[in-house]
Amino acid sequence: MPARKVYFFPGATQANFVTISALLGSCDSVICADTGHINCHECASIENTGHKIVALPHHDGKITADQIEGEVQAYYNSGEAEYLTRPSLVYISFTTEYGTLYTKAELTAISEVCRKYHMYLFVDGARMGYGLGADGNDLTLADFGRLADVFYIGGTKCGAFFGEALVLTDAGIDRRFKAHMKQFGAVLAKGWILGLQFYTLLHDGTYFAITKRADEYAVRIRQAFRQKGIEELVVSPTNQQFIILSRAQAQALESKYIFEAMGPVDDDHVCVRVCTSWSTKAEEVDQLVADILNL
């Protein structure tokens, strides 16, 4: 399905809350995983626009079509729908916040549930490039255009200075969309800079090459941890790796590297997030791998 409209946003949080605000009525709610970025990392931006988030338990960062249908059925079978917000949009991330991927079959099933109940499907693509380039991925940009109502191609995390390219695939949802962007301060005066970045990244495949390379580097790092008998919290084929370290191992690595502490696993171990990016260099990976093997 050809794109109806493409809008450029300065950042992903703006893309998320402006889109959801533009598409939902005041009595509507949005379904997402409990780990979803809008639920955990955006300072209640969705709630600040007047919309309720219905957070479903995640499975390696993902939610399923059955979970979504169950939540919607609970609304319609409640007998008091006028007292409840109506689930009207499903928000998922590709890649997820755990670095995992939805498959084409999973995304198709979610899309079918959304269309059955006249809900929008919105895909946060802040890390889209890392998902498309991952080993085992079977989704393409064309699939997102066919299955989602809205998705975006992430720039900020994938090689651009900043910005996200948001695609509206449904001809019926772009009415006064840019007015919503303007109302929330998301229209950049020199917006051509955003478009130029995406042209530069996409026209010759650079976007896909640099993100795929980051995935390969991350998998190499994961393999080094495995070689030392160090396990990961979840198996991720993308640039985000969630590694379970002893506190001594974490302390040894943090003297040279920056990683995010995700919290304790038990009294003696913590989970840390190690990320590569489009700008990661081979020699940096070589050094980290050597230091891992020397733990």
Across the chain, mean pLDDT equals 96
Q: Is 213 helix (H, G, I), strand (E, B) or coil?
A: helix
Q: Could you say which of 164, 181, 202 is where a domain stops?
A: 202
* Mean pLDDT score, 188-216: 96
How many domains would you assign to the chain?
2
Both 241 and 186 in one domain: the answer is: no
| Helix, strand, coil percentages for the chain (3-state, nearest 5) | 40, 20, 40
Residue 250: pLDDT over 60 = yes
Please tell me whether residues 81 and 195 are part of one structural domain. Answer: yes
Other beta carbons less than 10 A from residue 210's beta carbon: 19
Residue 173 DSSP symbol? G
* Shared domain check, 182 and 218: no
The residue out of 146, 179, 202 marking a domain boundary is: 202
52 touches 85 (CB < 8 A) = yes
Same domain as 238, residue 96: no
Tell me the per-residue pLDDT of 87-120, one tens digit each, with 9 for 90 and over.
999 999 999 999 999 999 999 999 999 999 999 9
Based on the fold, state whether residues 67 and 140 are members of the same structural domain: yes
CATH code for the domain in which residue 270 is found: 3.90.1150.10
Mean pLDDT, residues 154-160 taken together: 97
* pLDDT above 90 coverage of the chain, percent: 94
Do 45 and 127 belong to one domain?
Answer: yes
| CA dist., res. 100 & res. 118, Å (int) | 27
| pLDDT average, residue stretch 80-89 | 94
Q: Are residues 64 and 190 in the same domain?
A: yes
Which of 202, 230, 258 is a domain's end point? 202
Do residue 178 and residue 222 come from a single domain?
Answer: no
pLDDT at 1 over 70: no
Give the strand order in the sheet containing 269-275.
Answer: 240-246, 269-275, 260-264
* DSSP SS3 for 15: helix
- The model's confidence at residue 3, banded by pLDDT at 50, 70 and 90, is low
**Segments forming the whole domain that contains residue 285:** 206-293
Read off the pLDDT of each residue in 55-62 and give the average, rounded to a whole number. 97
What is the C-alpha to C-alpha distance for residues 121 and 110, in angstroms, rounded to an integer? 8
Q: Give the mean pLDDT of 28-35.
A: 98
Q: Is the pLDDT confidence value at 158 over 90?
A: yes
Strands (E), the chain: 5-9, 28-33, 52-56, 86-93, 120-124, 150-154, 164-168, 240-246, 260-264, 269-275
What is the CATH number for 62?
Answer: 3.40.640.10
